[in-house]
């Protein structure tokens, strides 16, 4: 049951990224007042044009600076920087800032299966979850699966070349979630106090391999597309030719885990939060690509 309708002013960290921007849009659509927290002034200007309030703050500036940016908000939705090497420390600072600013409601954007020793960036999420749970805040933890939208950056190459390439076994299972559904879940937990102190997996309704995803791309594009395993060494050479990219080792560890196990979760919690069956990958891509 949702609480009586009130308009919430919600600070969203990482608001210029893919996840944060979608959450901001979802809050606006639901009639709330997102306060986008971003590091760059130009990102703040863009979000203001979309109707959100925006404040410039560097999460690495410490709890006092972050607390100042949280003035007069009702809740925080914390989306840590993707694959950040000190994400757990940044999250601790955001939690401390919320406590100092007197903001009790806190939603943490974690990841599906955070307690996997083979994936260091997942373990940083697990450490962050512990910090959130150990705080004085009214917290909720969301654990989304990989996004259906992760296919989109590879769409043109897959359609043009006929192959959807991934650096792990193309038969391993995943439960991709629609990012728009994730944003709606954020709204749902903020509007329902019964979700306080809850942890919710956010997974899509289908178990799909990369081969299955390639078949969806083929169906929607009308072109033959098949999945192909890309050797990790080839992937590394393509994305980090000079060996300076800081997140590559963590990504390779993730690919190794995917190669052995995939990454799957249950759609039950997301369905309850949405009040409907979660969106399929096919429908999410069709909508985002503007296909009939």
Inter-residue contact 91 to 128 (CB < 8 Å): yes
| Sequence ranges of the domains in the chain | 9-148+177-204+265-279
Q: What is the pLDDT along the chain (292 residues), one digit of tens a residue?
A: 567 668 999 999 999 999 999 999 999 999 999 999 999 999 999 999 999 999 999 999 999 999 999 999 999 999 999 999 999 999 999 999 999 999 999 999 999 999 999 999 999 999 999 999 999 999 999 999 999 999 999 999 999 999 999 999 999 999 999 999 999 999 999 999 999 999 999 999 999 999 999 999 999 999 999 999 999 999 999 999 999 999 999 999 999 999 999 999 999 999 999 999 999 999 999 999 999 6
Torsion of CA 61, 64, 68, 72, to 10 degrees: 130
pLDDT of residue 108: 99
Is residue 68 exposed (0-12), middle (13-18) or buried (19+ Cβ within 10 Å)? Answer: middle
pLDDT of residue 1: 52
pLDDT of residue 3: 73
CA angle at 171 for the pair 112 and 81, rounded to the nearest 5°:
30
Tell me the pTM: 0.96
pLDDT of residue 247: 96
Could you tell me the fold of the domain covering 9-148+177-204+265-279? Rossmann fold (3.40.50)
- Tokens encoding 75: 């809740």
Inter-residue contact 32 to 3 (CB < 8 Å): no
Q: Minimal CA–CA distance to 149: which of 60, 242, 216?
A: 216
Distance CA 231, CA 223 (A): 24
């Amino acid at each position: 049951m949702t609480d009586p309708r009130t308009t919430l002013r919600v600070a969203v960290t990482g608001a210029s990224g893919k996840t944060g921007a979608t959450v901001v849009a979802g809050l606006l659509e639901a009639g709330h007042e997102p306060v986008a927290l971003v590091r760059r002034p130009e990102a703040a200007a863009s979000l203001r044009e979309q109707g959100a309030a925006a404040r410039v703050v560097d999460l690495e500036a410490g709890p006092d600076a972050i607390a100042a940016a949280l003035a007069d908000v009702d809740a925080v939705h914390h989306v840590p920087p993707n694959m950040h090497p000190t994400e757990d420390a940044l999250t601790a600072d955001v939690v401390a800032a919320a406590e100092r600013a007197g903001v009790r409601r806190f939603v943490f954007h974690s990841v599906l299966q955070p307690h996997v020793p083979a994936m260091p960036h997942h373990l940083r999420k697990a450490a962050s979850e512990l910090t959130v749970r150990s705080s004085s805040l009214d917290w909720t933890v969301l654990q989304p699966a990989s996004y259906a939208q992760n296919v989109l950056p590879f769409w043109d190459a897959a359609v043009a070349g006929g192959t959807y390439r991934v650096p792990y076994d193309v038969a391993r299972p995943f439960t991709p979630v629609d990012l728009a559904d994730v944003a709606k879940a954020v709204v749902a937990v903020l509007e329902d106090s019964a979700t306080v102190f809850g942890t919710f997996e956010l997974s899509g309704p289908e178990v799909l391999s990369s081969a299955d995803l390639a078949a969806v791309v083929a169906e929607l594009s009308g072109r033959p597309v098949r999945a192909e395993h890309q050797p990790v060494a080839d992937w590394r050479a393509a994305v980090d030719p000079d060996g300076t990219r800081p997140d590559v080792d963590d990504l390779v560890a993730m690919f190794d885990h995917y190669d052995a196990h995939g990454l799957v979760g249950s759609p039950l919690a997301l369905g309850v939060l949405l009040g409907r069956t979660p969106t399929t990958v096919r429908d999410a891509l069709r909508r985002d690509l503007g296909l009939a």
